[in-house]
Amino acid sequence: MDPLLTLDEVAQALKVSKNTIYQWRKTGRGPVGIRVGKYVRYRPEAVSAWLDEQAGI
């Protein structure tokens, strides 16, 4: 199992603020996150797939 990414890690990887990630999540426009207890985590492959989608790949 691949390790899950934190919100901070996703924001850093995408070079956007945490607030941007929060807004994307709220509007359903960003990478799909998984709720783990009170935390949201991201699968690296979900972030990669979302980036490919944004690039039209």
pLDDT digits (tens, 9 = 90+) for 9-53: 999 999 999 999 999 999 999 999 999 999 999 999 999 999 999
CA distance 30 to 22: 9
Q: Which pLDDT does position 6 carry in this prediction?
A: 97
CB within 8 A of 53, min separation 6: which ones? none
pTM of the shown model: 0.88
pLDDT of residue 2: 75
